[in-house]
Amino acid sequence: MRIVIYSMLVLLIAIQYPLWLGKGGWLKVYEMERQVELQEAKNSLLALRNAKLSGDVKDLKDGTRAIEERARVEHGMIKEGEFYVQILQTDKAPEAQAIKQ
């Protein structure tokens, strides 16, 4: 009787091994599901980035506002008839010394 019980226990363990630790076991399935969730999060971020870039491309192709904005920001260009004013911050230390004297 003991031989039957032990042999059944060995068979049960032999059947359970692939279920838990085998190629398609629960642990691997859990790990793969986690990787899929991470990849889906990355894909959603990339989809948002692609949508933004697509909007920029469409704006550059169709309108002049985006081109004008880039020229102003990146190259410091101005329109004809506009004035460019640059305000520089002064050093406050000389003013403080002039007040003390």
Is the pLDDT at 94 greater than 70, yes or no? no
Q: What is the spatial distance between Cα 86 and Cα 82, in angstroms, rounded to a whole number? A: 13
State the pTM of this model.
0.49
| pLDDT score recorded for residue 87 | 85
Q: What is the spatial distance between Cα 101 and Cα 99, in angstroms, rounded to a whole number? A: 6
- In the predicted model, what is the mean pLDDT of residues 4-8? 91
| pLDDT score recorded for residue 81 | 87
CA 100 and chain centroid, separation? 54
* % of the chain at pLDDT higher than 90: 27
| pLDDT score recorded for residue 93 | 62
pLDDT in tens, 42-90: 999 999 999 999 988 888 888 778 788 888 888 888 888 888 787 888 8
68 to each of 16, 55, 77, how far by Cα in Å? Answer: 68, 16, 9
